[in-house]
Amino acid sequence: MPLSHYTPCSHSKKYIAEQDRAGARFNKELTYSVRWGTVEFSRSLSLRQEIMKWNGWGYSDSRFLFNKKGQAEFTGKRYRLSGLILPSLKDWFEGTFGANLQHRSPATPSLNLSAVAPPNLNQPFVEDLKAAGLAVSHDPEDRVFRAHGHCLHEVFALREGRIGRVPDMVVWPSCHSDVEKIVELACKHNVCLIPYGGGTSVSSALECPREETRSIVSLDTSQMSRILWIDEKNLTAHVEAGIIGQDLERQLNERGYCTGHEPDSMEFSSLGGWVATRASGMKKNIYGNIEDLVVHIKMVTPRGVIEKSCLGPRMSTGPDIHHFILGSEGTLGVVTEVTLKIRPIPEYQKYGSVVFPNFQQGVACLREVARQRCAPASIRLMDNEQFQFGEFCFSLILLNFFLLKNFCFKGFDPQHLCVATLLFEGDRGKVLQHEKQVYDIAAKFGGLAAGEDNGQRGYMLTFVIAYLRDLGMDYYVIGESFETSVPWDRVLDLCRNVKERIVRECKERGVQCPPLSTSRVTQTYDAGACVYFYFAFNYRGLSDPVHVYEQVEHAAREEILANGGSLSHHHGVGKLRKEWMKESVSGVGLGMLKSVKEYVDPQNIFGNRNLL
Amino acid sequence: MFSVFIQPRHPVLKKRDDFEDVLEERRRSSDLRYALRCYTPTLYKGLVPCKASMLKSIVLQSDHLQYVIKQVSSESGDSAECVAEEASLILDEMAHRLQLSTIRFFAFTLSKAFKRLFRSVCVNEEGIQRLQQAVQEHPVVLLPSHRSYMDFLMMSYLLYMCDLPLPVIAAGMDFMSMKFVGEMLRMSGAFFIRRSFGGDKLYWAVFSEYVKTMLRNGYAPVEFFLEGTRSRTCKSLTPKMGLLNIVMEPFFKGELFDVNLVPVSISYERILEESLYARELLGVPKPKESTSGLLKARRVLSEDYGSMHVYFGHPVSLRSLAEGKINRSQYNLLPRYIPQKPRVDTHEFLNDAAFRLVRIQEENMVLKPWVLIATLLLQNPDGLELSFLTEQTDWLRHLALAFGAFLDWPNHEACSEVVSCSLALHRHLLSVSAGHVQLNVTDAPQDETTPEEAVFHRAVVVLSCASYRNQILHVFLRPALLAVAMQSANSNRKDDVYNCFNFLRNMFSNEFILCPGDSVQDFEEACYLLMKRGVLQVLEHEIVMSASGHSTLAFLCSVLDPFLQGYQVVCRCLCEETNENLTEKEFIPAVRSFALKLILAGRLKCCEALSSDLQKNALAALLRLKAVRKVKVGDQVTLKVNKIAVNSLEDTLGGKIPTLKPILARL
């Protein structure tokens, strides 16, 4: 790109000045209350189930649809986008996927209860539970709701009204000792327990194993959602593991604190789920990932309770037993209580965005930011396809035409440019200083600051993007996202190869229209980055679209591994990626994990068959 | 469009594209205007625009080269700057300086030259279209066959003509000794590699990084000759792996999504270097490439070289080729700039791929009627009646077609017409008198010539002629191996025949292109072809000759006969050699004089035993079979001969004793 004729420094200075003023107007509370609904999930056993979709993502009242004029709108009142009309989404949607609003593929409107197999109950176990005063249910809706995560094949089957093996009953413990009781009874009566937190798994982790012949009991932790104590001297909070992310954050906010752990699923995912999958949050650069945040974990296993004896910040007592628990994906026991680090709510928060002439320059900039260890709370880089999506649908990035023209003049080709979104947090002076440092680095890579609003909208999109899949599925478009982590020097090659592999595999499998195949870098580390892929295609004309989808995703994962990417950065392995575990951690590594499982749970009570 | 080596084991079914004569247009319009026309090549979609000068700095700054520079510097004690300077000089010596103006110059002069030399230059249009597609999608590696210096000039000429990107071509350093011409070639895209740089790490690093950088950036198609050098015999040569490994590595390491490998088959009705090659094979040293030599070659311009065919094969996707064979994650644990020796499985893959690519070249090689005639004339040293020759040629034509030969036989022309046309074009190798056709081998010896000189004179003609017969060997090879195996097996049992077949195949795998590990498939292919021709009946445990099969089998046996005899001569020579310390260098002269003696004594008729190519291949086979060992004594490499083993190989080849050590067949 010929960029010699512009002076990046003067530009970025100008933008920073503007953003500074905008930052001063920033109203934190408003953002929080707008972004997250105000429903507290734990009030009753079924409230959550009532306000959420049974066969799609998120709240029942929030969804994308094309109105009679063919304009897209987002319903409900919960999000900033709610109630907005998105006039150009239709054009993007039809253009990208070759889809047509005349061709609909609607979901089955409601759950056909007769499709649910009658429960295989272990009566003595049920009676013992009832005797112990525990809430249980074998209502089909309760069971179906807890039988799946959000993998494409799971949601697709629900939309078609196909119900596979579901748990035979649901039990709701309300505290640690309830869980101890349940696990003890499960061992006694040999039933299979599957812990259930927020239900946002994307690794087939919640699927009931077909080969399981015992009674399967879903252990729903949603009633264990209290903050038990907050220790302001040590900045820790002791929390029950069933608490949902947004509730935890809101309740801590009320006390002036936060955890800073914000995975994209935080509206619905639970603390216990984070621990069990080694979750990662958007702002990990400041607060760390879940393994950095936990000080203490209490887990109930068939062998008894596992926990450390003190709250020391670090220990040298052999291999860290927390690391057997973190990422155990419900195969060893139920996480009941967690002591987490907390931080005072940051004084100042500021969004930002930078436009780069191309993805290579963007990645080079992120690499430099990581090298200098000056990454903001969050920094993400979208590729050109995602930029175009944002641009088309929401006019997100470059609101005014004048600005776009300006960029084109500067040698930015709309077919190549890409955008990074930024979030800074901390005390005001430092944020501004930090911001300058990052924008200066960006300028060296041809990046131009593109405003605070664009950054903020970019992050907002994160929470609604999952709703878009449901819209696609109404019109013969299916898709999913998946992630990996990879050393810096391979980021570009991996992105290019995986995207191309997806396109090629789709073509070979008879997908008529080229798929949407895009990537973004969502986290930076000293030694590498986390990369996300979004992939969707129009499945008209395919007899078994889900199978095609799975084959392509499988090929994409093979490509990731062949290019030096990891099996997963934070989604986990579940049953979806199990076949690659041995290759990923070596035979000995797998054997070690198996022997732990063998010791902790010889009866395979926690029989979800994830991971190993 | 990506052929994935679903190789038709029954080549007869192979569909081939039609040809178009590209000279036709040149004969009608102005060459000058053609040379100056607007040239807008199709470009690779992922092209990183970059000038030749920038290329140099990218290579020198690359992590890989910097790493090797540091390594070499710490090993040799020279300063890193010093080593870097050396690297820069190597690169200067190597790098091409592709210029459109030079290409235009060549487009003009070559148009003139080609029109004088050739009646037509035929290219498969569809192949060009496939290439145009392939060039856009992924970096392309062009793999032409190598029979003549004309090959790469012709390649660039055609690519310019078809608005395809001009290739960069790996050329041997020997060209650089031609002062002016070397620089001209450099400016038309040639880059120069030293012939041997065995252990020179720095040289290897500069060279491999240079090639990889061009490939990765999509700078230009990379062109090189799998066979490494011009084949003097017109048989395909055993492929070399070095450059193939280099162009494949960016894919293995994930730096490229895919690479399109495009085999190109270039065939000549008459080879410009024909008699030059024959002399070279007989030990008359090859004239050093020099500009004056090239000018002298001007006289070639006045001769008729018939037509030329260029067939662009289907692009082979490296990704599809490597599917399931290469585990790319083996490169995950080492930074990619650190050079790694290919692992055993990678090496096997390379070897297999290289053989298959050469096989594709062979299969797409156009054969002229003369090739059939040359085959028959060699089998009948005393000559044939023209009418009988015509009849035989027609018979052979049908056999060749049945075996899948890519024969360019003129439509609607009587066989006799075709034969006499061919004879006219190659009259310098023949004598035709009173309807009797004979190779030009029995010229009345002039007074001054010694008997040795007469033999050499005859051998030049025979080897020239053999270079045409050799072009069709790949068609007859497998059935011929089977025919010889049946003859020497003394048994109809399928496994006995297979053992013999396998022995011969093994013996000749340096001589012909026989993919390692394909023994069973080759055997089955041979059986199938002969069965289809009604020559054999293949029963469950037996192979039986049909009543009508005799002539075909006899023909096939005599196709291989010169090689069987030649190898036996080599074995005999080694057995009778009294010098215990025969060096590798002395080997060829020793065998040559041994063969010459036999010929002069009338005990050997076959002149092909004099060919140094055959002798080298035989030695390579003996080394591979461990009947001969190389021992390094000081600077010399001497050959230690296991006379018992060599002797028994000779007897087995001569059909005197049955195949040793029956190898358990997977039949």
Over the stretch A388-443, which tens digit does the pLDDT of each residue have? Answer: 887 776 654 444 444 555 555 566 788 888 999 999 999 999 999 999 999 999 99
* Alpha-helix runs per DSSP H in B490-549: 494-507, 519-532
Query: pLDDT value at position A411?
Result: 67
Query: pLDDT value at position A456?
Result: 87
Q: Is the pLDDT of residue B304 over 60?
A: yes
The DSSP letter of residue A310 is S
Inter-chain contact B254–A563, Cβ cutoff 8 Å? Answer: yes
Please report whether residue B649 resides in a domain. yes
Query: pLDDT value at position A322?
Result: 97
Query: pLDDT value at position A551?
Result: 96
Distance of CA A41 to CAs A223, A244, A264, A514, Å?
Answer: 9, 8, 18, 41
Query: What average pLDDT does this structure show over B153-173?
Result: 91
Q: Strand A216-220 relative to strand A192-196: parallel, antiparallel, unpaired?
A: parallel
Same domain, B330 and B470: no
How far apart CA A241 and CA A162 sit, in angstroms, is 31
Task: Tell me the domains of chain A and their CATH numbers.
Answer: 227-344 (3.30.465.10), 348-462 (3.30.70.3450), 466-571 (3.30.300.330)
Which tops the pLDDT comparison, B230 or B301? B230
Inter-chain contact B331–A561, Cβ cutoff 8 Å? Answer: no
Please name the helix (run of DSSP H) or strand (run of DSSP E) that holds residue A609, with its range, or none.
none
Phi first, then psi, for residue A301 (nearest 5°) are -120, 165
- Across the beta sheet with B384-385, what order do the strands follow? B384-385, B436-439, B430-433
**What are the pLDDT digits (tens) for A283-299?**
999 999 999 999 999 99
Residue A330 assigned to a binding site: yes
Average pLDDT, chain B: 88
Domain final position from B336, B364, B392 = B364
| A500 near B CB under 8 A | yes
| B332 near A CB under 8 A | yes
How far apart CA B148 and CA B471 sit, in angstroms, is 14
Residues B595/B610, Cβ–Cβ less than 8 Å: yes
Please report whether residue B423 resides in a domain. no
Q: Which residues in chain A are closer than 8 Å to B327, comparing Cβ atoms?
A: 562
- Across the beta sheet with A72-74, what order do the strands follow? A64-66, A72-74, A85-86
Inter-chain contact A489–B329, Cβ cutoff 8 Å? Answer: no
Please report whether residue B414 resides in a domain. no
B319: which 2 tokens? 């990704």
Domain final position from B364, B390, B421 = B364
Looking at chain A, the whole-number percentage of residues with pLDDT higher than 70 is 89
Query: What average pLDDT does this structure show over A576-583?
Result: 96
| A416 near B CB under 8 A | no
Q: Is the pLDDT of residue B443 over 60?
A: no
B657: which 2 tokens? 């004793």
Q: Confidence class of residue A352 from pLDDT cuts 50, 70 and 90?
A: very high
Residues A164/A156, Cβ–Cβ less than 8 Å: no
For an interface test with A, which of B320, B329, B334 has the most A Cβ atoms less than 10 Å from its Cβ?
B329
Residue A334 assigned to a binding site: yes
Residue A197 assigned to a binding site: yes
Please report whether residue B428 resides in a domain. no
Query: pLDDT value at position B605?
Result: 87
How far apart CA B271 and CA B365 sit, in angstroms, is 14
Please report whether residue B503 resides in a domain. yes
Please report whether residue B472 resides in a domain. yes
Query: pLDDT value at position A561?
Result: 97
Q: What is the CA radius of gyration of chain B?
A: 26
- In b/e form, how buried is each residue of B497-523, taking b as 16+ CB within 10 angstroms? bbbbbbbbbebbbbbbbbbeebbeebb
- In b/e form, how buried is each residue of B254-280, taking b as 16+ CB within 10 angstroms? bbbbbbbbbbbbbbbbbbbbbbbbbbb
Inter-chain contact B255–A563, Cβ cutoff 8 Å? Answer: no
Which tops the pLDDT comparison, A272 or B606? A272
Stretch 556-575 of chain A: residues touching chain B, C-beta under 8 Å: 561-564
**What are the pLDDT digits (tens) for B81-96?**
999 999 999 999 999 9
Same domain, B355 and B448: no
Residues A354/A440, Cβ–Cβ less than 8 Å: no
Query: pLDDT value at position B434?
Result: 82
Transcribe B565-590 into DSSP letters: HHHHHHHHHHHH---TT-BHHHHHHH
Inter-chain contact B254–A500, Cβ cutoff 8 Å? Answer: no
Q: Confidence class of residue B47 from pLDDT cuts 50, 70 and 90?
A: confident
Same domain, B477 and B337: no
Return the closest-CA partner of residue A545 out of A513, A582, A509, A578.
A509
Query: pLDDT value at position B557?
Result: 93
| B331 near A CB under 8 A | yes
Query: pLDDT value at position B319?
Result: 96
Please report whether residue B627 resides in a domain. yes
B484: which 2 tokens? 């010889």
For A498, the closest chain B residue by CA position comes to: B257
Residues B229/B146, Cβ–Cβ less than 8 Å: yes
Same domain, B271 and B140: yes
Give the SS3 label for residue B443. Answer: coil
> Which residues are CB-neighbours of B3 under 8 A, at least 6 positions away?
B313, B314, B315, B316
A362: which 2 tokens? 């963007």
Please report whether residue B97 resides in a domain. yes
> Which residues are CB-neighbours of A50 under 8 A, at least 6 positions away?
none
Q: Confidence class of residue B441 from pLDDT cuts 50, 70 and 90?
A: low
Q: Exactly one of A59, A79, A475, A532 is catalytic; name it.
A: A532
For A502, the closest chain B residue by CA position comes to: B257
Per residue, the 3-state secondary structure of A339-390, as one string, reads EEECEECCCEEEEEEEEECCHHHHHHHHHHHHHCCCCCCEEEEECHHHHHHH
The parent domain of residue B651 ranges over 444-659
Query: What average pLDDT does this structure show over B388-407?
Result: 93
B619: which 2 tokens? 């030695």
**What are the pLDDT digits (tens) for A22-42?**
333 333 333 333 334 444 444
Return the closest-CA partner of residue B381 out of B305, B469, B447.
B469
How far apart CA B22 and CA A259 sit, in angstroms, is 74
> Which residues are CB-neighbours of B113 under 8 A, at least 6 positions away?
B301
Please name the helix (run of DSSP H) or strand (run of DSSP E) that holds residue B55, with its range, or none.
helix B52-61
Query: pLDDT value at position A26?
Result: 35
Q: What is the count of structural domains for chain B?
A: 2
Q: Confidence class of residue A5 from pLDDT cuts 50, 70 and 90?
A: very low
| A82 near B CB under 8 A | no
**What are the pLDDT digits (tens) for B319-353?**
999 999 999 999 999 999 999 888 999 999 999 99
ipTM for this prediction: 0.87
Angular region, B238: left φ>0, alpha ψ -120 to 50, beta rest: beta
* Bridge partners for B438 per DSSP: B431
Residue B662, Cβ neighbours under 10 Å: how many? 14
* Bridge partners for A66 per DSSP: A72
Q: Which residues in chain A are closer than 8 Å to B331, comparing Cβ atoms?
A: 564
Cα within 13 Å of Cα(A179), Cβ side: 30
| A489 near B CB under 8 A | yes
Query: pLDDT value at position A395?
Result: 58
**What are the pLDDT digits (tens) for B471-526?**
999 999 999 999 999 988 878 899 899 999 999 999 999 999 999 889 999 999 99
Inter-chain contact B331–A493, Cβ cutoff 8 Å? Answer: no
**Burial class, A365, CB count within 10 angstroms (exposed 0-12 / middle 13-18 / buried 19+):** buried
> Which range (A13-17, A452-456, A500-504) has the least confidence?
A13-17
Inter-chain contact B254–A561, Cβ cutoff 8 Å? Answer: no
Least CB–CB distance from A564: residue in B46, B327, B332: B332
> Which range (A8-17, A190-199, B277-286, B584-593) has the least confidence?
A8-17
For an interface test with B, which of A495, A502, A504, A517 has the most B Cβ atoms less than 10 Å from its Cβ?
A504
Which tops the pLDDT comparison, B540 or A562? A562
The DSSP letter of residue A607 is -
Q: Is the pLDDT of residue B37 over 90?
A: no
Q: Is the pLDDT of residue A145 over 70?
A: yes
| B327 near A CB under 8 A | yes
How far apart CA B460 and CA B611 sit, in angstroms, is 10
Query: pLDDT value at position B299?
Result: 61
Please name the helix (run of DSSP H) or strand (run of DSSP E) that holds residue A600, with its range, or none.
helix A581-600
Looking at chain B, the whole-number percentage of residues with pLDDT higher than 70 is 92
Same domain, B149 and B261: yes
The DSSP letter of residue A462 is H
Residue A532: active-site member: yes
Residue with tokens 């190993």: A612
For an interface test with A, which of B64, B212, B318, B328 has the most A Cβ atoms less than 10 Å from its Cβ?
B328
